[in-house]
Copies of this chain bind each other. A is one copy, B any other.
Amino acid sequence: MPRMSKAEKQRSHSRILDAAALLFRENGIGATSVSDVMKTAGMTHGGFYRHFASKEDLVEAAFSHAVDGVVADMERESTVEGRKRSRQAYVSKYLSQEHVEDRSHGCPLAAMGAELARTGNAHAQAGARAVARMAALLQNDPEGAPDQGLAEMALLLGTITLARLADTRDEATQTLKTGQIAVRLLQDHWH
């Protein structure tokens, strides 16, 4: 059957990236094998190294790809609604029961952040860039105090992590509600 065309290789590349961004968030980096990723992308494991030099290489690319997806999601909503409303919508979506339950399409920082931070300087830049991009989305006023978005990001990240640790759905819902109150408080009283 091989060889595929250049266009088809690019489509394969995208499928691998999508699969990795999904599985790394769902099951973690360490618990996801190259073979798992390639199977989900609809191929066998051997072809992987025509696309990436190593699993480490894929981790970095898939993480950035996942961040791109989340940011694009937010920016799509931004064009439709006003800036303030779109940020409120983003917070609501972030602190939702769906986000608690579906890690695979959710926040890459919540899903892979701790694991990424452990690899030391290898992914440091990618991690820091992701934090900056997502915090910027939450900034109340682009002219105002620049750290309110970062504090809000921390609160969202912490809340979803705690909600995912709850052992009942009711407890998770309560955690989300608490997070929503805290976010509003931060938005209203920052400087």
A98 contacts the other chain (CB 8 A) = no
- Asked if A165 and B116 make an inter-chain contact with CB atoms under 8 angstroms apart, the answer reads yes
Known: A153-B158, A154-B179, A178-B150. A121 touches B30 (CB 8 A): no
A74 contacts the other chain (CB 8 A) = no
- Asked if A155 and B182 make an inter-chain contact with CB atoms under 8 angstroms apart, the answer reads yes
A64 contacts the other chain (CB 8 A) = no
A80 contacts the other chain (CB 8 A) = no
**Taking CB as reference atom, which chain B residue is nearest A161?**
B113
- Asked if A117 and B165 make an inter-chain contact with CB atoms under 8 angstroms apart, the answer reads yes
A88 contacts the other chain (CB 8 A) = no
Interface size class of chain A, counting residues whose CB lies under 8 Å from the partner chain? 35 or more
- Asked if A154 and B165 make an inter-chain contact with CB atoms under 8 angstroms apart, the answer reads no
**Taking CB as reference atom, which chain B residue is nearest A132?**
B171
Which chain B residues border A181 with CB–CB below 8 Å?
Answer: 147, 151
Query: A127-B167, A147-B177 known; 15 other A-B pairs, CB under 8 Å?
Result: A30-B30, A109-B162, A116-B165, A128-B171, A131-B162, A151-B181, A153-B158, A153-B162, A154-B175, A155-B182, A156-B158, A157-B157, A157-B161, A158-B158, A161-B161
